Structure 1
């Protein structure tokens, strides 16, 4: 297979260095490096992405698009295709921090109001011991001897710091009214997690249906 040219590498590097980009931003970079507008050269754009993904698949990465259900925008990003969240976040976050993140996103997707948010207070009260799993893959009952000390000793200040970092890294998002919701990186990276946890897909965008009522107010282009 021919090696990727500098144009392919520029597109990949833009997403790796800047994080997920809105479709308009990514289209603009594509136009700058190729001289072609992806809106009028959709086949060329798709061919670029296909070639990039064939190369990235060897290292279990993928250039992927998703729709953010909170703002309706399409984003592009490079994601890790391994199945577990620890591999996705493990280079930056500790095991207790990852357990905290998993507890927060579980609370968000289980939001009874279907708004896909929880309060900052509820996020900080996430119990890490609920994230302890046995060797058989089932969740433990949280017996004292089964909970790692690092989980039991994870303080409120550590949760606050972790929440700030997760928002900064766009795994989570903080709203002006003090609520916490999924960040664009969660929509991009956690498709397998949503699927394995039986989160129903949105019938409009085919992403996990985290915010059920949102799309009734979106005017999609024809």
Structure 2
């Protein structure tokens, strides 16, 4: 297999240095390095390029993939870690209590927020972390056996960590000003969503974090807003004139023509 070219390295380096890129920006970059070939009109070339990059990344348990920001429907591309645990995905930047805090926020957003997929800032800062730590014997143990870094994790430290998670795009503010998942969470946690039985969208089969639900009691169907629009596109409605009104307009036209033919100034239908 031929080694990656400078074009492949440019795409990969952009994603690694800048983080996830919107489809618009990623396509623009691809067009610039491929001599003006837009992915929309050169789909096979675009697919082959990504496949070649992924063949190389696979040896390192990484993957270049696309996903959708469920809060606004924007498509993003990014490089993700295929190892399933959150500690590996968050890397060495975050401490044990910070990772525990993120896990608590994640569970609150996907399990407790219903189909809205977001919580308030106050709810976020009151998320518990003591139940997120599994000690050596594999159990979530009592307060007395927890490390001091967990039990002494201050409110101010939660505020600082929340800000960092938003800056690093693991979390994000929604349009309503609440806390939701960031694009890096959507990219990296696909396997986590599935293993934790997060209800999936009936259309795309991806986790329905932010989705519409069926109003029928007992129905658990979820569909993303953007999937709903694709499945049921709005149709142009042709205005229908009520039959009585249509009949009166027709009669009025007939009488007007008859009046002109007979030479009368005005001849209108009489309504009783």
**Relative contact order, higher structure (CA 8 A, sep 6+):** 1
For residue 220 of structure 2, what is the aligned residue in structure 1?
Answer: none
For residue 224 of structure 2, what is the aligned residue in structure 1?
Answer: 215
Shift of the alpha carbon at 1:98?
0.5
For residue 181 of structure 1, what is the aligned residue in structure 2?
Answer: 180
Shift of the alpha carbon at 1:152?
0.5
What do residues 43-79 of structure 1 show as CA deviations (whole Å, max 9, x unaligned)? 1111001100010111111101011110011110011
TM-score by length of 2: 0.76
2:223 is the counterpart of 1:205: no
Shift of the alpha carbon at 1:154?
0.6
Correspondence list, 1:31-110, <5 A: 31-35=31-35, 36-110=37-111
Q: Mean Cα displacement is larger for which, 60-69 or 144-153?
A: 144-153
What do residues 187-209 of structure 1 show as CA deviations (whole Å, max 9, x unaligned)? 00011111111112222333211
> Structure 1 residues 25, 220: CA separation in 2 closer, same or farther (over 3 Å shift)?
farther
TM-score by length of 1: 0.93
Secondary structure, aligned partner of 1:110: helix
Q: Distance in 1 between matches of 2:75 and 2:143?
A: 44
Contact kept? 2:113, 2:119, Cα under 8 Å? no
Shift of the alpha carbon at 1:176?
5.4
2:16 is the counterpart of 1:12: no
Q: Distance in 1 between matches of 2:12 and 2:24?
A: 16
Secondary structure, aligned partner of 1:157: helix
Q: Mean Cα displacement is larger for which, 200-209 or 5-14?
A: 200-209
Contact kept? 2:208, 2:224, Cα under 8 Å? no
Contact kept? 1:20, 1:185, Cα under 8 Å? yes
> Structure 1 residues 215, 192: CA separation in 2 closer, same or farther (over 3 Å shift)?
closer
Q: Mean Cα displacement is larger for which, 159-168 or 189-198?
A: 189-198
Max radius of gyration: which structure?
2
2:134 is the counterpart of 1:125: no
What do residues 78-118 of structure 1 show as CA deviations (whole Å, max 9, x unaligned)? 11111111011132111110110000010000134410001
Q: Distance in 2 between matches of 1:112 and 1:75?
A: 24
What do residues 11-68 of structure 1 show as CA deviations (whole Å, max 9, x unaligned)? 0011111111111111110000112111011111110011000101111111010111
Give aligned pairs, total: 220
Correspondence list, 1:157-168, <5 A: 157-168=156-167
RMSD of Structure 2 on Structure 1 (CA): 1.8
**Which runs of structure 1 show a deviation greater than 6 angstroms over 4 or more consecutive aligned residues?**
none
What do residues 130-151 of structure 1 show as CA deviations (whole Å, max 9, x unaligned)? 102244645x2x4122211111
Q: Distance in 1 between matches of 2:120 and 2:29?
A: 36
Contact kept? 2:143, 2:151, Cα under 8 Å? no
Shift of the alpha carbon at 1:177?
4.2
Secondary structure, aligned partner of 1:91: coil
Q: Distance in 2 between matches of 1:177 and 1:74?
A: 20
Q: Mean Cα displacement is larger for which, 208-217 or 31-40?
A: 208-217
